[in-house]
Amino acid sequence: MSSNFVPFTIPQDQLCFIHIPKTAGSALTHMMKQVYDIKDVSPYIAMEEIRKLEPGSLHQYRYIGAHMRCSIRNYLEQEPAFITFLRDPVKRVISHYRFSKMLGDTAPFGPKLDSNSTIENYLQNKRFRFRVENQQTVYLGTDLLYENQPEGYNHYPIVTDEIYERAKETLESILFVGIQERFQESVNLLCRTLGWPAYREDRKINVTPGRVEDEPIPDHLLNEIRERNSYDIALYEFACELFDKRLKEISGNSSIMDEADRFYDELFKEQFPPSDTATYDFRYTPVGSNWHEAGRNPHGVPFRHMGPKTSSFVDLPLTNNKNLILSFDVLSTISQDMLDSLKVIINDTEIPCESINRQPGFTYTGKISKDILATTNGRVRITFTVNKTLSPKELGMNDDARFIGPAFSNLQIRPVAEPKVPVPESTTSTQPPSTFKNIRRIFGNAKRRLGS
């Protein structure tokens, strides 16, 4: 296996996330950054910037997440696979208000909301109409490109029945539709759709820092939001029905997590035949495997930190009838105690490993006995555990607030070298004597039958 080996399914098509504001976008993009190589994930692109791009200018990315419409396809070389999330429209409007209020004058784009404004001010201000009225329907039912629309087209139009029907058609035709209020189920339905293992992290989403959680919203304003979002409410209900239908079709009576894991295991064994060698560079890691997003050291070597939890894994297709050698590099750690606690577990069995100080990191090696592998059937899980993860920011090292473990790179598997068996020196023939005599006898019988 080459160093480019990716031990799980990566979609051949580009994934494009239609990120409707305040609908789980940050959480989903965070998850995708844990899966893809850092070079494969597009930077955030504002809507106004998208319209200025040259056609085909985004083809190098495998995942694109932005506040965009389906017309992003005009900047790609082929049709992508679209995914999106919807959210309860009333909750989405309130969340957007709180987010805008929290940003205040620091908002990077769009109209700015004074930090002293009330939600009533927000709803009455015409500058925020596009954030208040049917924004989900607008995103899914309209085109971002001015040149594809009649003269004077407003890319935040008043929603009509025609736009609503186009939005429904979009939901029916794209690869995946998730529901923020059912984020865990949604992400696991996406994992099952893509052939990835189940996502078991309990991640909080769309928590606006500094917001007033219990800020009361008067009933008459809640009713106003509902009245101004009648299309979004209908579209959200349609999306929930579509989600339930797809969930039942795929998982049946099983949990979607179990079904995602089952399908991942099935695809893994179909696509990756067992081998006694492997080279893995950590550019891609399975969803839920507890690795932070990929980085590069000054020499361009890919690496990933463990974290935020204390246990991370890699799945590899390994043969089960040979003794194997595992080696991997640890490029850095922010705690020697953390590194000293490192354990390596093959399936459910811990193996001892020795380390060599390579400066600035370490190379670890350990033997994987074929007895440990005997019960496996193609997919072997290599788990790394440490006693803790730490935040560099809390330690006063830098501004990195993530909880991280050691940084891993360059994992390799090779067979244990078998001792050479001495071979006796040959004299007149490489064939054993008895075999040589049998060949002479057969040849002689053939000559007599031919009359020679």
Q: How many CB atoms neighbour CB 431 within 10 A?
A: 12
Q: How confident is the model at residue 127 (pLDDT cuts 50, 70, 90)?
A: confident
Average pLDDT, integer, range 278-288 = 92
CATH number of 273-415, picked from 3.40.50.20, 2.60.120.260, 3.40.50.1820, 3.30.930.10? 2.60.120.260
50 vs 402, more confident: 402
Does 29 score more than 50 pLDDT? yes
How do the domains of the chain map onto residue ranges?
Answer: 15-260, 273-415
Q: What percent of the chain has pLDDT over 90?
A: 58
pLDDT in tens, 144-186: 544 444 444 455 778 999 999 999 999 999 999 999 999 999 9
Say how far apart CA 420 and CA 417 lie, in whole Å.
9
pLDDT in tens, 336-359: 999 999 999 999 999 999 999 987
**250 to 177, 178, 188, 428: CA distances (angstroms):** 14, 14, 11, 68
> What pTM, to 2 d.p., does this model score?
0.84
CA-based nearest residue to 406, from 279, 282, 316, 277: 282
DSSP string, 226-285: HHHTHHHHHHHHHHHHHHHHHHHHHHTTS-HHHHHHHHHHHHHHHHS--BS-EEE-SSS-
pLDDT in tens, 248-273: 999 998 999 999 999 999 999 999 99
The fold for domain 15-260 equals Rossmann fold (3.40.50)
Tokens representing 176 are: 């995946």
Average pLDDT, integer, range 390-411 = 96
100 vs 222, more confident: 222
pLDDT in tens, 374-395: 988 889 999 999 999 999 999 9
Element (H, E) at 86: strand 81-86
Peptide bond into 360 cis (omega under 30): yes
